[in-house]
Amino acid sequence: MARPSARIIASYFDGVKEIEIMDRPEVYCVLYQGKPISLRYNTYKLEAAPKRYPRTAFTTLAPCANLVRLLNQQFETTDFTASKKL
């Protein structure tokens, strides 16, 4: 079954690129013990490596569930969950 197409709210085109704002009915986020989280990656092997802040909120469930599974495996817990926010 195909995913329903998103409704375009507004669009902008400058001759080279087009930006479309689309309506999404829900957002999935990663929770730790029931509270929303943010992530930060630090790299210590490289000089002056920037901190990275990966996403923890997604418009579809699949990448959110994959991140939850990865975090639960890395931290050896089941405290990470995915939740739908309206």
> Residues 49-81: pLDDT tens digits?
677 889 999 988 999 999 999 999 999 999 999
**Exposed, middle or buried: residue 30 (CB in 10 Å: 0-12, 13-18, 19+)?**
buried
| Average pLDDT in the chain | 87
42 pLDDT band (50/70/90 cuts)? confident
Are 40 and 34 contacting, i.e. CB atoms less than 8 angstroms apart? no
pLDDT of residue 3: 66
Please choose, from the candidates 39, 33, 9, 45, the residue with its C-alpha nearest in 3D space to the C-alpha of residue 81. 33
pLDDT of residue 86: 56
Q: At 64, is the secondary structure helix, strand, or coil?
A: helix
pLDDT of residue 1: 61
